[in-house]
Amino acid sequence: MSEAPKDSQHLRVANRRLATRLTLATVAMFAFGFALVPLYDVFCDITGLNGKTGRIETSEVRADRVDTSRIINVEFVANLNGDLPFRFEPGIHKIQVHPGETRRIHYVAENLTDQTIVAQAVPSVAPTVASRYFNKTECFCFSQQTLAAGERREMPAVFVIDPDLPAGVTTMTLSYTFFAAPGSDPVALAAIPDNHR
C-alpha cells in the first residue's frame, strides 16, 4: 500500500473508493453464505458424504454387469421424525443381493390420525463410503406422500448397487426417515391425542 494520500480532495476520493470496495466485499460474503447451501449439497453429492444416495434412470441400469460372485446384505430401517403420527416399517427387513442386480422392495406407512397428512421420506445409507454406490431408479422418497386419514399404503423402492462398490463392503443399511412436509403445522400435529401416536 502506498503512502497515505495528503490533500483532502484526494483523501475523500480514496476513502470513498475504499468504502465502496469493502461494502462490495460485505455483500459478496453475504451471498457466499447462501452459496454455501448449494456448495454443500454438491460437495455431498460428489463425495457421497452425509449418506446421500444416488438416483439413476432405469435405462442406465446395465443388466450385463451383475457381479454374481459377491453377495451384499442389505438391511432396511424405518424412522419417524419427532411426533409424526405414522406407523412406518419396511416390508422386509433384510435381503441379499448381487451388485448390479435390480431389486424391488417396499415400505408400509399408515396414517394413524383422522386428518390428511403430507409427509416426505428422506433416505440415508450406511456406511457412508458405500452410499454413492447405492442407486435408486424408483422410490417413494422422490416425491411427497399424501396419506388420507387412516390410510395405509405400500410404497415401492427399486434399487441397484453399483458393481464398483468397494470390496470391503458386505453389508449396507438403507434408512428412511419420514418427516411432516414443510408447511404442515407441527403444533396441530402435536395436538393429536397420544393414543393415536
Partner 1 sequence: MSVTSHEMQHDDHHGKPYGITRWLFTTNHKDIGTLYLWFSFLMFLIGGTMALVIRTELFQPGLQFVDPHFFNQMTTMHGLIMVFGAVMPAFVGLANWQIPMMLGAQDMAFPRLNNWSFWILPFAFLTLLSTLFMEGGAPAFGWTFYAPLSSTFGPPSTDFFILSVHMMGISSILGAINIIATILNLRAPGMTLMKMPLFVWSWFITAFLLIAAMPVLAGAVTMLLTDRHFGTSFFDAAGGGDPVMFQHVFWFFGHPEVYIMILPAFGIVSEIIPAFARKKIFGRTSMIIAIASIAGLSFIVWAHHMFAVGMPVAGELFFMYTTMLIAIPTGVKVFNWVSTIWRGSLTFEPPMLFALAFVVLFTIGGFSGLMLAIVPADFQYHDTYFVVAHFHYVLVPGAVFGIMSGVYYWLPKWTGNMYSMKLANWHFWLSVIGVNLTFFPMHFTGLAGMPRRIPDYALQFADFNMLSSIGAFMFGFSQLLFLVLLVRTIRGGAKATDTVWEGAHGLEWTISSPPPYHSFTTPPQVK
CB nearer partner 1, residue 127 or residue 156: 127
Of 1 and 191, which has the nearer Cβ to partner 1? 1
With respect to partner 1, which residue has the nearer C-beta, 79 or 102?
A: 79
Residues constituting the chain: 197
Check: CB of residue 86 under 8 Å from CB of residue 107.
no
Give the shortest CB-19-to-partner 1 separation in angstroms. 6
Q: Which of 5, 94 has the CB closer to partner 1?
A: 5
State the Cα torsion 168-174-175-179 to the nearest 10°. Answer: 130
Helix, strand or coil, per DSSP, at residue 33: helix
Nearest distance in Å: CB 52, partner 1: 10
Report how far residue 115's alpha carbon sits from residue 113's, in angstroms, rounded to the nearest whole number: 6
Q: Please state the closest distance from residue 161 (CB atom) to partner 1, in A.
A: 20
CA neighbor of 149 nearest in space, from 125, 118, 170, 122: 118
3-state DSSP assignment of residue 26: helix
Least separation in angstroms between residue 119's CB and partner 1 is 7
Minimum CB distance to partner 1, residue 64 (Å): 32
The residue among 83 and 101 lying less far from partner 1, judged by its C-beta, is 83
**Contacts with partner 1, residue ranges (CB under 8 A):** 1, 3-6, 11, 14-15, 18-19, 22-23, 25-27, 29-30, 32-34, 36-37, 40, 47, 49-50, 81, 119-120, 122, 128-129, 177, 179-183, 186
